[in-house]
Structure 1
Amino acid sequence: MELRKITVKPLLKWAGGKTQLLKEIIPRMPRQYKNYIEPFIGGGALFFAVQPSNGIIADSNAELINVYQQVSNHVEDVIHYLERYENTEEMFYAVRRQEWQGLPPAEAAARMIYLNHTCFNGLYRVNKKGKFNVPFGHYKKPNICNADNLRAAAQVLQKVKIVCGDYLQVLSKYAKFGDFVFLDPPYIPVSKYADFKRYTKRQFGKQDQVNLADKVKDLQDIGCSIILTNSSHPMVHELYHDFKIDIVPAKRYISCNGQGRNGEDTIISIEPTKMETLITASEFNKVQVSKYPTTRFMGSKSKLLTEIWNIASQFDFQTAVDLFSGSGIVGYMMKAQGKRVISNDYMHMSAAFTKAMIENNATILSIEKAKQLLLGHSEDDHFVVNNFQGLYFSDDDNQLIDRIRANIKTLSNPYEDAIARSALIRACFKKRPRGIFTYTGFRYDDGRKDLKKTMAEQFLDAVMVINNSVFDNGKENQSINGDALELANIKNSLVYIDPPYYSPLSDNEYVRRYHFVEGLARDWKGVELQENTKTKKFKSYPTPFSKRQGAADAFSMLFAKYKDNILLVSYSSNSLPTRDEIVTMLKIYKQHVDVVPVNYRYSFGNQRERIHDNRNKVQEYLFIGY
């Protein structure tokens, strides 16, 4: 978005203001977006530079928000009060002693502007009682009342909604698909001179930073573009390792120590999981894809949907076959595009997801019925309580899991069954640190909000999210739990192939990571717990993709079986067979073979110590044979 001709300076000097970083931030903004949302408005440097025509600006600092509201609605009154102030120490302290809440709102706004322009370093700081306590600045000619700038600012402010509120509440209420969100929270201190309390009397601490990072992922999943700034602190790099992080030099103009005035900021750019260009059929489809429940499922292609659809949309096909559905997101995207979808996976839990949200066109599980599943109505076999005590969840959670398992069996509608089973699986994912079952205990509990919710709350939340994702695309879609080489009569379709990636450097055993939730999906029927293992896993399903030659042979057989279709294949640059080997195999059956490389970063659920090395930076190859 280009800067407007009108020039507006920020109304206030603000610790952490972004004026010096505008040339870095503005080029990183999306070219198009629906609403501009800034929940830590502060001095508003980016807002006044960009001058959005619609959106939300907000802050939890009620005095600050009053300034923006009064300038927007009563700018002449604010100017009138400002013109009465003088740059004297006597008047400064007299005004500072006033209780702003007891003043007329316009005078309270003028008071804050006056104190900000005449206090030491333009610093806003309050004590434990919320009282402004910065001393007089002794400036010769501070610009107390810039009437022209105030009137120009009023024009800009009148185009947006101004809200006083906590950032989480503001984002939850207002952020929607296609919006741009700029996040400039209080920085994580990087030195002993840093001050967490320049903004309000409430400290923005470590847990707030964790909560913000969780919210960023939620915003990405609903389709928002996000830019976030913070200090270049190890915690920032850890919280946002999945995203693009640029480090830029910055001066700390407000600092009590000269040595602390030079530093480094991070600018974190986050593209939405569902890009604006992903869905082209209708506005309904744009919204629909964003409703698919997010997972931390290994190998999920949620971040590659744009590239996958950009390729697929060039071909004329009515049926999409997802041979290795995994999380189900690719099949769901194809369903939202109006395609008939055949979704397959050898894992029962994946088949449960696609039964609930792809094959199912209309059925939901009522919240009343879901709540009944939490109660002890049916005979309970205590399987989880007896076999998994102390391994993954608390005793109370284990009892609840068994109770829900027993009650699910009373559901006669297969789609209600699939929704309930998927919701229970999702609840276990959410309650399990890192979402995997390759370790026991709770040593990775970092206090994030998902881990604080009860299992019952997670289950009911999951039911609501899954219900919200159910829609009818007018096609008879199908969910299959089977072998990809055994599907019958697939012709004249687009076949998407995303098998487990074989690499000698890492495992591709989904069952090993997810055996507990896969057991839930199967109700542990047809499997035998390996009692000698600490994790009580069961034997992994046989798959040819667990060995190098087996993977090559499996690709060859898949290409031969589905040769009468458009073939779209996902595979990683650090896996085997190699890119050239896959191209060679495809060319046996297809006249045209193209390869689209996509830069990609994997986040390994059980290898956090490797996050910052280069082994999780790879290219994802999309092969298209036609």
Structure 2
Amino acid sequence: MQSNTATQISTIVAKPILKWAGGKTQMLKELLPKVPSSYGRYIEPFIGGGAMFFALQPENAIIADSNPELINMYRQVAEHVDEVISYLEKYENTSEMFYAVRSLDWEELPEAEAAARMIYLNKTCYNGLYRVNKKGHFNVPYGKYKKPKICDIESLYAASKSLQNAEIVCGDYFLVLEHYAEPGDFIFLDPPYLPISEYSDFKRYTKEQFYEEDHVELAKQVMRLHEKGCHVILTNSNHPLVHELYAPFKIDVIQTKRHISCNGNTRKGEDVIVTVPPKQRFLINLAPTPLPKQVSLYPPTRFMGSKSKLLSEIWAVASQFQAETVVDLFSGSGIVGYMFKTQGKTVISNDYMSMSATFTKAMIENSNVTLPLNEAENLLISHKESDHFVANTFKDLYYTDAENDLIDTLRTNIAEIHDQYKRAIAMTALIRACTKKRPRGIFTYTGQRYNDGRKDLQKTLSQQFLEAVEAVNKAVFDNGKPNKSKNGDAMDLRIEQADLIYIDPPYYSPLSDNEYVRRYHFVEGLARDWKGVEIQEHTQTKKFKSYPTPFSTRKGAADAFDKLFKKFSNSILIVSYSSNSLPTQDEMVAIMAKHKEHVEVVPVDYKYSFGNQNNAKTHRNSVKEYLFVGY
């Protein structure tokens, strides 16, 4: 393996032999820090002036170009530099000699002379251009420079030494990459820039063309290289198509100067540097890990997206890191945060849903307070007139009149409880009771159309409430740590220390929605007593508007992940995400790789407890769950 760092720029001996439109000398200070610290072989299939190659001076390289005259020049400098120098020393900076040499056909000359001719014309022609016509004949006029350095012997010897460490190939970039690129290699791509025009760099140096569709094909090659495990850095102009093609990867915009332009006003521009990390392989051990018995005491739930069946896998990954403080950023049912609590971690649990924050208040933040059964039974009795909000607002929608009245009684009595943890236990029990008395446990429909006669539906609401209180009481325990439950937007969460962040956000998929509020609006309303929401009276279900979330669109989800990973870039990141969701696996890896040095993907076969697509019979609920790990 060879090692290269940005500090090497100060010790560069070799430098580009030719002036080159689009050469990367001026961008080296931005490019070199992005070069991987170690890699296998250096590959540059659009070698051009070779600024990056000469700056790095790699010990093992493949450099290539489709321009045979350029490749001949590099081969001759590498193998026969003295002959090239002897020819160069004969040239003079006169228009007569310039046009006489220009008229020669390089393919009919000795190879060393052809190499010298190319260098000479490049040094003495107008603006250092090397443009050919449709017949492949050089057609740039004389440059009228006073003292061009036609034969820079020291530079030629230094370049020759560097070039001797490279295999110099004449060929199409596609074939070069297909034939040579191996996992661990570093590929630098400096293709013809967009937009394609008659003045594009590529047309200056070859008869061939490089169209927009070629850029699309190049992007596919980049993705293949990423999958193969190669490091890739690509440069181009700051063009919309470049951003579209390389959206999954980090793109930096750099201010540059265009040295070759007939119009001084156009000599400023913006280039981009696309950094593509190798796709990480599965290095993290996913061996089954037994969980403490305490985990089983957490009341089971059918909450959408609950990770109760993935706890062993999540812990198997998390346990491989030294983490004392864990943040469960989107707590949902609360089971993952609870699992971390049983492992002796300090847990900070957060969710934008009030009902979720209520669960974690009762069983994660709470260490020793329980709600005695006699106090719970007393909550079932009306002690003062309720506001009858549920009875009036949701009549004939979800429950019987008697059940609605009981819910109003419980709401009123729970609000009078002074102890915050007893109040959280009681509200958790009420939410749980209402969910269990609801066929399918959701509120996206009215009536009892999905009533299949299961035992939970036959129990009274009072029974469900008291059983839930007992279940929550059993889940309460003290792990000796100051755990916290928070209710807010993940983007706004402020924490002093977080060793590990577990992220299980709403999954975006074009096949289904991820609106938790739409499914659970009634019990979410209970948790917050419908404060701060506006019920949509025109809807059959009397739902309220869903909370705004960036995870409702593909782009929004990608941007949200990027911001979250940046926000918590100093912590270990573990993200649960599904194979049927967007961003894709590769896109997720690329986003995380912008902020973490190591990214791994751990696949887990998983089947959701109930389908969340329009037609569950399509078996799309059988998916692969991914754990993205950044460290």
Q: What's the offset of the Cα at 1:603?
A: 3.5
Q: What's the offset of the Cα at 1:611?
A: 3.5
Q: What's the offset of the Cα at 1:316?
A: 0.5
Measure the CA separation in 2 of the matches of 1:605 and 1:521: 26
With over 3 angstroms needed to count, the CA separation of the structure-2 counterparts of 1:276 and 1:576, relative to structure 1, is closer
SS of the residue aligned with 2:566?
Answer: helix
Of 462, 467, 486, the match for 1:480: 486
SS of the residue aligned with 1:558?
Answer: helix
- In structure 2, the residue matched to 1:545 is 551
1:405 aligns with 2:405: no
Measure the CA separation in 1 of the matches of 2:367 and 2:333: 18
- In structure 2, the residue matched to 1:97 is none
With over 3 angstroms needed to count, the CA separation of the structure-2 counterparts of 1:373 and 1:455, relative to structure 1, is same
Contact 2:324 2:499 in 1 (8 A): yes
Contact 1:490 1:562 in 2 (8 A): no
Matches within 5 A, 1:463-542: 463-542=469-548
Contact 2:577 2:627 in 1 (8 A): yes
Measure the CA separation in 2 of the matches of 1:623 and 1:532: 42
Matches within 5 A, 1:599-610: 599-604=605-610, 610=615
Q: What's the offset of the Cα at 1:600?
A: 1.1
Paired AA for residue 614 in structure 1 = H
Measure the CA separation in 1 of the matches of 2:396 and 2:329: 36
Of 375, 382, 385, the match for 2:388: 382
Measure the CA separation in 2 of the matches of 1:384 and 1:560: 43
Of 603, 615, 623, the match for 2:628: 623
Contact 1:491 1:564 in 2 (8 A): no
SS of the residue aligned with 2:315?
Answer: helix
Paired AA for residue 278 in structure 1 = P
1:590 aligns with 2:602: no
Paired AA for residue 288 in structure 1 = Q
With over 3 angstroms needed to count, the CA separation of the structure-2 counterparts of 1:319 and 1:352, relative to structure 1, is same
Of 437, 443, 451, the match for 1:445: 451
1:277 aligns with 2:289: yes
Q: What's the offset of the Cα at 1:589?
A: 1.2
Paired AA for residue 408 in structure 1 = I
1:563 aligns with 2:563: no
Contact 2:390 2:404 in 1 (8 A): yes
With over 3 angstroms needed to count, the CA separation of the structure-2 counterparts of 1:587 and 1:476, relative to structure 1, is same
Paired AA for residue 457 in structure 1 = Q
Measure the CA separation in 2 of the matches of 1:496 and 1:584: 18
Of 358, 362, 385, the match for 2:364: 358
Contact 1:429 1:436 in 2 (8 A): yes
CA-to-partner distance for each residue in 1:228-274, whole Å, 9 max, x for gaps? xxxxxxxxxxxxxxxxxxxxxxxxxxxxxxxxxxxxxxxxxxxxxxx
Contact 1:278 1:305 in 2 (8 A): no
CA-to-partner distance for each residue in 1:14-43, whole Å, 9 max, x for gaps? xxxxxxxxxxxxxxxxxxxxxxxxxxxxxx
Q: What's the offset of the Cα at 1:493?
A: 1.1
CA-to-partner distance for each residue in 1:300-336, whole Å, 9 max, x for gaps? 0000001000000000010110000000000000000
CA-to-partner distance for each residue in 1:590-626, whole Å, 9 max, x for gaps? 111110011111233676x833422111110001000
Paired AA for residue 463 in structure 1 = V
Range with bigger deviation, 478-487 or 595-604: 595-604
Range with bigger deviation, 488-497 or 329-338: 488-497
Measure the CA separation in 1 of the matches of 2:495 and 2:358: 23
Measure the CA separation in 2 of the matches of 1:295 and 1:605: 15
Measure the CA separation in 1 of the matches of 2:338 and 2:442: 24
Paired AA for residue 355 in structure 1 = K
With over 3 angstroms needed to count, the CA separation of the structure-2 counterparts of 1:391 and 1:606, relative to structure 1, is farther
Contact 1:603 1:611 in 2 (8 A): no
SS of the residue aligned with 2:620?
Answer: helix
Measure the CA separation in 1 of the matches of 2:505 and 2:496: 18
Contact 1:434 1:605 in 2 (8 A): no
Contact 2:288 2:316 in 1 (8 A): no
Contact 1:380 1:403 in 2 (8 A): yes
- In structure 1, the residue matched to 2:312 is 306
Paired AA for residue 330 in structure 2 = F
- In structure 1, the residue matched to 2:345 is 339
With over 3 angstroms needed to count, the CA separation of the structure-2 counterparts of 1:517 and 1:605, relative to structure 1, is farther
With over 3 angstroms needed to count, the CA separation of the structure-2 counterparts of 1:613 and 1:490, relative to structure 1, is farther
Q: What's the offset of the Cα at 1:492?
A: 4.5
SS of the residue aligned with 1:615?
Answer: coil
TM-score by length of structure 1 reads 0.54
Unpaired runs of at least 5, structure 1: 1-274, 280-285
- In structure 2, the residue matched to 1:324 is 330
CA-to-partner distance for each residue in 1:161-196, whole Å, 9 max, x for gaps? xxxxxxxxxxxxxxxxxxxxxxxxxxxxxxxxxxxx
SS of the residue aligned with 2:297?
Answer: coil
Q: What's the offset of the Cα at 1:277?
A: 2.9
Measure the CA separation in 2 of the matches of 1:488 and 1:518: 24
- In structure 2, the residue matched to 1:613 is 618
Q: What's the offset of the Cα at 1:488?
A: 1.4
- In structure 1, the residue matched to 2:76 is none
TM-score by length of structure 2 reads 0.54
SS of the residue aligned with 1:290?
Answer: helix
Paired AA for residue 379 in structure 1 = E
Measure the CA separation in 2 of the matches of 1:304 and 1:617: 14
CA-to-partner distance for each residue in 1:571-602, whole Å, 9 max, x for gaps? 01111111001101111111111100111112
Measure the CA separation in 2 of the matches of 1:599 and 1:472: 33
Paired AA for residue 339 in structure 2 = M
- In structure 1, the residue matched to 2:584 is 578
Measure the CA separation in 1 of the matches of 2:429 and 2:524: 13
Measure the CA separation in 2 of the matches of 1:470 and 1:276: 26
Contact 1:327 1:353 in 2 (8 A): yes
Contact 2:346 2:483 in 1 (8 A): yes
Unpaired runs of at least 5, structure 2: 1-286
CA-to-partner distance for each residue in 1:460-487, whole Å, 9 max, x for gaps? 0000000000000000000000110111
Paired AA for residue 500 in structure 1 = P
Measure the CA separation in 2 of the matches of 1:505 and 1:606: 9
Contact 1:435 1:605 in 2 (8 A): no
Paired AA for residue 311 in structure 1 = V
Paired AA for residue 503 in structure 1 = S
Larger Rg: 2
Measure the CA separation in 1 of the matches of 2:520 and 2:408: 18
1:295 aligns with 2:290: no
Q: What's the offset of the Cα at 1:490?
A: 4.5
Q: What's the offset of the Cα at 1:381?
A: 0.3
Measure the CA separation in 2 of the matches of 1:409 and 1:312: 38
CA-to-partner distance for each residue in 1:20-72, whole Å, 9 max, x for gaps? xxxxxxxxxxxxxxxxxxxxxxxxxxxxxxxxxxxxxxxxxxxxxxxxxxxxx
Contact 2:326 2:498 in 1 (8 A): no
Contact 2:289 2:315 in 1 (8 A): no
Contact 2:521 2:543 in 1 (8 A): yes
Measure the CA separation in 2 of the matches of 1:492 and 1:473: 18
Measure the CA separation in 2 of the matches of 1:487 and 1:332: 19
SS of the residue aligned with 2:570?
Answer: coil
Measure the CA separation in 2 of the matches of 1:379 and 1:350: 28
Contact 1:595 1:621 in 2 (8 A): yes
Matches within 5 A, 1:64-463: 277-279=289-291, 286-463=292-469
% identical aligned pairs? 67
